[in-house]
Amino acid sequence: MEFLIQAAAEVFTAKVLALITLGALAGIIVGAIPGFTITMGIALTLPFTFGMSPIEGLATMLGVYVGGYSGGQISGILLGIPGTPSSICTTFDGHPMAKKGQPGRALALGVISSFLGGLVGAVVLIITAVPIARFALRFGPWEIFSLIVFALTLIASLGSKSLTKGLMAGAFGLLLATFGIDPVAGQLRFTFGLHELTDGFEFLPVLIGLFALPQMIDAAARGRTETKQVDSSFIEGSIQVPWLAGLREVLSQWVNLVRSGLIGCMVGALPAAGGVTSNFLAYDQAQKMSKHPEKFGTGIPDGIIASEAGNNGTAGGSLIPTIALGIPGNAITAVMLGALILHGITPGPMLLRHEPVLVYGVFIALIVAHFSMLLLQIVGLRGFLRIAKAPSFSLVPAVLTLCVVGSFALNNRFFDVWVFLLFGLIGYLLSRLGVPLAPVVLGLILGPLAESNLRQALMINPNPNLFFTRPISALFLGISLLSIAYSAWQIMRQRKRTLAETG
């Protein structure tokens, strides 16, 4: 308790509060720009923290982190292009809702869910960090592989319109994941003698290529006349952001909110998973538990709430192993650990005992960062809404420029811009053919994880039965079977219904 008061005294100073807010603002901006990642924002913050005290530095980074997760939805909802990989699922319902003329409602729902979902994650972090981190260590390659198998079954529900096309897209993503240096043995694969391909396809240019370029081609192809109609529906009656109505709507779905926040938090706590996986899992669970799963993807609040609560829950979750064990939960917390080491603080299980004030300070700063984010979004959203009104002829070139710059800035090499363009064309063709794009992304993200964990498991012990005899692993494989069965049953039911309707 005494530490808590000391920590509060350190955080609630004008300087630290200003730093958190500044961080959150920077986070929202990098999050909102397609092609710029939160990791990039945090890495840019790192040198500034050299001259700060540890708590000031960490508080600034937490601001960027929380702001970033909530910023990704802005372009996701308004343009249909996820600003960060962890807001892919927000576009599924957020963009259709915006197109229906309710961009303000979609954004309000997203921001409030981000805020509350993030708080769920923060509470779990504060109460149970140590036991959860210890439990997460029991996840060896067997358990992680089975979890990934479960996540891959989501492909079936993501491509629900046509299972075959969804599976094709997923397989295409998995194939892309095999390019470049092999994660376990270090051998080169499918590089075709191009040294740029040594590390395979960078994930981000592929993502924005697939999502942004087809959207922009469509926007341009709609032409001036059609755009006007869409524009007017955006302007009229929706420049207001219905905050109170949004809050009521989110709270009426509190089960979905808490479940998604918890899923985000738990996945964040696992080694190697992260915001993208939690985003998909939370969305999928919301859909499977829903009474009206067929409405997902048409622009209903449930999907936005699940996705945004899920990814902001990950912020607290990924801090669990970081604080409790000194193991970074993702690239972002890795940079935070680096900042600690630089200040001569050894991260690890002893951190809570050696530096209790700092740890409590981080907890308080995480919560404060959520309030800063909410405040900034309330002030700034009306400005962002103007994006929805922007005519295509100014929007399209602006977004494309940002995509190109973002692809380049990621690794500072031009090859990634070609990757962006290549996958933009592939994405356009695929969307024209009615092939869903999300499974491609899912395959590309989960492929390397599945591969390295499967191979590590078999290298440690060549006995494949361990996947079924280790309890947590068996549990995930069991849920995977249920997930597949559920999707099959849903497809059958849908088919019968359409048969009954037509026949």
User: Site residues (CB under 8 A) for another protein?
Assistant: 39, 42-43, 46-47, 50, 137-141, 180-181, 183-186, 188, 195, 198-199, 213, 216-217, 220-223, 271-272, 321, 325-328, 331, 334-338, 341-342, 344, 346-351, 396-397, 400-401, 404-405, 408, 411-414, 417-418, 421, 424, 452, 455-456, 459-460
CB 129, min distance to another protein, A: 14
User: Of the two residues 152 and 351, which places its CB atom closer to another protein in the complex?
Assistant: 351
For 463, phi then psi, to 5°, come to -80, 110
Per the listing, tokens 């600003």 go with 83
Residue 253: helix, strand or coil by DSSP? coil
User: Of the two residues 186 and 383, which places its CB atom closer to another protein in the complex?
Assistant: 186
CB 291, min distance to another protein, A: 39
CB 466, min distance to another protein, A: 11
CB 344, min distance to another protein, A: 4
User: Of the two residues 134 and 495, which places its CB atom closer to another protein in the complex?
Assistant: 134
CB 153, min distance to another protein, A: 25
User: Of the two residues 50 and 468, which places its CB atom closer to another protein in the complex?
Assistant: 50
User: Of the two residues 412 and 465, which places its CB atom closer to another protein in the complex?
Assistant: 412
User: Of the two residues 96 and 347, which places its CB atom closer to another protein in the complex?
Assistant: 347
Taking the C-alpha atoms of residue 141 and residue 453, their distance in angstroms, rounded to an integer, is: 5
- DSSP-derived letter for residue 13 is S
Per the CB < 8 A criterion, the answer to whether 174 and 449 are in contact is: no
CB 272, min distance to another protein, A: 7
Cβ neighbours around 401 below 10 Å, total: 10
DSSP string of 259-309, one letter each residue: HHHHHHHHHHHSTT--HHHHHHHHHHHHHHH-S-GGGTTSS-HHHHHHHHH
Contacts of 367 (CB under 8 A, 6+ apart): 119, 122
- DSSP-derived letter for residue 33 is S
User: Of the two residues 397 and 434, which places its CB atom closer to another protein in the complex?
Assistant: 397
Contacts of 332 (CB under 8 A, 6+ apart): 38, 39, 42, 61, 65, 318
User: Of the two residues 241 and 327, which places its CB atom closer to another protein in the complex?
Assistant: 327
User: Of the two residues 165 and 231, which places its CB atom closer to another protein in the complex?
Assistant: 231
- DSSP-derived letter for residue 183 is T
Taking the C-alpha atoms of residue 288 and residue 302, their distance in angstroms, rounded to an integer, is: 11
For 434, phi then psi, to 5°, come to 75, 20
Per the CB < 8 A criterion, the answer to whether 70 and 364 are in contact is: no
CB 414, min distance to another protein, A: 5
CB 290, min distance to another protein, A: 35
Per the CB < 8 A criterion, the answer to whether 325 and 349 are in contact is: yes
CB 186, min distance to another protein, A: 4
- DSSP-derived letter for residue 403 is H
